[in-house]
A and B are shown apart, each in its own frame.
Chain A
Amino acid sequence: MEPSLNDLNEPHSMGTTIIGVTYNGGVVLGADSRTSTGMYVANRASDKISQLTDNVYVCRSGSAADSQVLSDYVRYFLHQHTIQLGQPATVKVAANLVRLISYNNKNMLQTGLIVGGWDKYEGGKIYGIPLGGTIVEQPFAIGGSGSSYLYGFFDQAWKEGMTKEEAEQLVVKAVSLAIARDGASGGVVRTVTINSEGVTRNFYPGDTLPLWHEELPAQNSLLDILSAPSPEPMST
């Protein structure tokens, strides 16, 4: 079945797997990096974790345009709010701003978001804001098309009071499991860890991720071909 050229006029959507997890002292946000236009991967290395303030980040899923514009608006309002308040905005305020825009424009927007960050009053917090604009504060949240494959996994693997390393490993494992099963998720795994010390961005390319059931190791992959030294000249 040849891919139709009409697909290139489909709206740009992020199939996506997005995750937000709290741990003892902060939060870890994770996402895949695939943006698709119909059946074509328009961007295989997109960054779905956008900054709202120094201490609050948001994972975006659904329509790429809607989520980008929404996070731009929230960043702008939060900036004003921070100036007026005189101190960093709390995660709750950021999440509620996202919720207000999402709920009041529910007929026109198609985007699910996970807001996560750290502030000095409540510590690390995760808020899930799915389609429709509800706001739910959760110890961990998952979203996007790939999240369907992770509900059971988190029920079993999530526990209270993890360390930073455990939380990050959990997020990377979960995103890579979703990538293995969901066609609309793929590329690399990006994580953002936010705690009292600040923000750390991490990047896990495909070849560092574990292989799951029936996945084969890469052979003659582009990575090998491009980084191979040029062949020796033949000699008799």
Chain B
Amino acid sequence: MSKATIDLPPKGGFSFDLCRRNDMLSKKGARPPSYRKTGTTIVGIIFQDGVILGADTRATEGPIVCDKNCEKIHYMAPNIYCCGAGTAADTEAVTDMVSSQLQLHRYDTGRESRVVTALTFLKRHLFNYQGHVQAALVLGGVDFTGPHLHTIYPHGSTDTLPFATMGSGSLAAMSVFESKYREGLTKDEGINLVSEAICAGIFNDLGSGSNVDICVITKGHKEYLRNHLLPNANVYALKREYTFPKKTEVLLTKITPLREKVEIIEGGDAMEE
């Protein structure tokens, strides 16, 4: 009997096959596992010589902090970095993917990557997935046309701004920028402003916390200041190693060496290839 259906090759994109089952389960009372999200405060500013990006370092799974020191500032190109908020897996995957695309593009064109190229790759991808890839990004970099700072929303829209904030702590950080930002900040002033904004997010938003990461990008040079500020030091942590009591009591230790058994064959065949 011939098969009535042909096995189609698996199509790309999301498979919504289990959605009905999940609906049924949640109606019965089973709670789905919560996504690991980066609650997050991410910011960026344009200063005198380039761009400064900042991020907190807390990753959450529902109400639990699953990573106290994660990295939210992702490498895109030697002159372009991207902060990511939203579902951690989505931000990691999309920034990795576009970083590879940019590398291939650099081989093709033989030139330094431009920020608008990264922007277009990201916004096309996010628009094609209609917001299901939940990644909200702050993209910043310096190319030959100058410093650029963009925000990218999960549905694929973008904005170009002199200062930007994203994530659950964005309102707290934006309040700092709106009162203190001005054009032509020096590098130290910029780093202080960005740190202040991230700290506002860390202390006033439950989804953000731990430390402050900063990345300064200028023409031909970048500085990745991982854990630039540690305002939440773990003061009461034990200094000594954890030692656990041994569970099994040792009654007798006897070591018996096994006798070696070696056979010597005279005149055997030589090994052949």
List chain A residues, Cβ under 8 A from B134: 9
Determine whether A5 belongs to the interface, using a CB cutoff of 8 Å to chain B: yes
Determine which of B126, B159, B168, B178 lies in contact with A43 in the assembled complex, contact meaning CB atoms within 8 Å.
B159
In Å, the complex CA distance between A108 and B129 comes to: 12
**How far, in Å, is B111 (CB) from chain A's closest CB?**
21
Determine which of A8, A40, A43 lies in contact with B161 in the assembled complex, contact meaning CB atoms within 8 Å.
A43
List chain B residues, Cβ under 8 A from A46: 159
Determine whether A162 belongs to the interface, using a CB cutoff of 8 Å to chain B: no
List chain B residues, Cβ under 8 A from A9: 134, 154
In Å, the complex CA distance between A167 and B107 comes to: 50
In Å, the complex CA distance between A8 and B155 comes to: 12
Determine whether B170 belongs to the interface, using a CB cutoff of 8 Å to chain A: yes
Q: Are the C-beta atoms of A68 and B158 separated by less than 8 Å?
A: yes
In Å, the complex CA distance between A45 and B127 comes to: 22
Contacts A9-B154, A222-B178 known; list 4 others, CB within 8 Å: A8-B136, A8-B168, A12-B153, A69-B124
The 18 listed contacts between A and B (C-beta, < 8 Å) are A3-B171, A9-B154, A11-B153, A12-B153, A12-B157, A35-B159, A37-B153, A40-B171, A42-B151, A45-B161, A63-B155, A65-B126, A65-B153, A65-B157, A69-B123, A69-B124, A222-B178, A222-B179
Binding site for B on A (CB under 8 A): 3, 5, 8-9, 11-12, 35, 37, 40, 42-43, 45-46, 63-65, 68-69, 108, 222, 226
Q: For chain B residues 134-178, which have a beta carbon within 8 Å of chain A?
A: 134, 136, 151, 153-159, 161, 167-168, 170-171, 178
Q: Name the interface size band of chain B.
A: 20 to 34
Nearest residue (CB) in A for B165 is A42
Q: Are the C-beta atoms of A65 and B179 separated by less than 8 Å?
A: no
Secondary structure of the A contact surface, majority rule: mixed
Known: A64-B153, A68-B157, A69-B156. A11 touches B179 (CB 8 A): no
In Å, the complex CA distance between A226 and B182 comes to: 9
Known: A5-B168, A9-B134, A12-B153. A42 touches B159 (CB 8 A): yes
List chain B residues, Cβ under 8 A from A40: 170-171
**How far, in Å, is A6 (CB) from chain B's closest CB?**
10
B154, B157, B158, B170: most-surrounded residue (chain A CB, <10 A): B157
Determine whether B62 belongs to the interface, using a CB cutoff of 8 Å to chain A: no
Determine whether B131 belongs to the interface, using a CB cutoff of 8 Å to chain A: yes
Q: Are the C-beta atoms of A11 and B168 separated by less than 8 Å?
A: no
Nearest residue (CB) in A for B161 is A43
In Å, the complex CA distance between A37 and B179 comes to: 21
Nearest residue (CB) in B for A3 is B171
Q: Are the C-beta atoms of B159 and A11 separated by less than 8 Å?
A: no
Contact with A along B3-24 (1 / 0, CB 8 A): 0000000000000000000000
In Å, the complex CA distance between A63 and B178 comes to: 26
Known: A5-B168, A9-B154, A222-B179. A69 touches B127 (CB 8 A): yes
List chain A residues, Cβ under 8 A from B136: 8
In Å, the complex CA distance between A42 and B134 comes to: 17
In Å, the complex CA distance between A226 and B183 comes to: 12
List chain A residues, Cβ under 8 A from B127: 65, 69
In Å, the complex CA distance between A180 and B235 comes to: 52
List chain A residues, Cβ under 8 A from B170: 8, 40
In Å, the complex CA distance between A9 and B167 comes to: 9
List chain A residues, Cβ under 8 A from B159: 35, 42-43, 46
List chain B residues, Cβ under 8 A from A42: 151, 153, 159
Nearest residue (CB) in A for B162 is A45
List chain B residues, Cβ under 8 A from A11: 131, 153, 155
In Å, the complex CA distance between A46 and B161 comes to: 8
In Å, the complex CA distance between A42 and B153 comes to: 10
In Å, the complex CA distance between A45 and B159 comes to: 9
List chain A residues, Cβ under 8 A from B131: 11, 65
Determine which of B154, B156, B171 lies in contact with A68 in the assembled complex, contact meaning CB atoms within 8 Å.
B156
